[in-house]
Amino acid sequence: MQKIHIKFVLNGKHMEIDTDPNKRLLDLLREDCRCKSVKEGCSEGECGACTVIRNGYAVTSCCILAGQIQGDTIITTEGLSSDGKLDKLQNAFMESGAVQCGFCTPGMLMSAKALLMRNQYPTDEEIKIAMSGNLCRCTGYAKIVQAVKMAAESQGEV
């Protein structure tokens, strides 16, 4: 099969990759870009484990072909920290106990980050709606909502 050449920005870095036109974004990120935070859960866009931010919006990477991201900006959990420091959202997840087994955490972080990029001070209801595409079997979601609120409240702090 003939490869396609794609250009995109991943976690602030310009990327150019030759890839199979039928390769899912999930596989491109994990195999070619070494973004291991992107998890495969259901493979049909239902669980949210593979959630990444694409052009500012949370998307399930298992349902997008690599060729569809031509020119796009993609953020994975690896792109949240900078200069060796965790993002406020990552810290809030740890402080509130929103991380338990950890399998869903990267997808949860990406959905929450996408929300906070568009809405700095979301209501509980807006947080619940933004997180509705992510399944978690451990936390009961209350601590996740608490973590997103904590991160939103700390956004103005240095």
Task: Count CA within 13 A, CB hemisphere, residue 157.
Answer: 8
Distance, C-alpha 85 to centroid of its chain: 18
For the stretch 27-73, pLDDT in tens is 999 999 999 999 999 999 999 999 999 999 999 999 999 999 999 99
Domain-by-domain residue ranges, the chain? 4-77, 88-153
pTM beyond 0.75: the answer is yes
Q: Strands of 13-19's sheet, edge to edge?
A: 13-19, 4-10, 73-75, 51-54, 57-60
Q: How far apart are CA 111 and CA 75, in angstroms?
A: 11
The topology under which CATH files domain 4-77 is Ubiquitin-like (UB roll) (3.10.20)
Number of H helices, E strands in the chain: 5, 5
Superfamily classification of domain 88-153: [2Fe-2S]-binding domain (1.10.150.120)
* DSSP state string for 86-97: --HHHHHHHHHT
Measured between alpha carbons, how far is residue 28 from residues 14, 48, 70, 141 in Å?
Answer: 15, 17, 13, 30
For the stretch 109-155, pLDDT in tens is 999 999 999 999 999 999 999 999 999 888 788 999 999 999 999 87
Element (H, E) at 10: strand 4-10
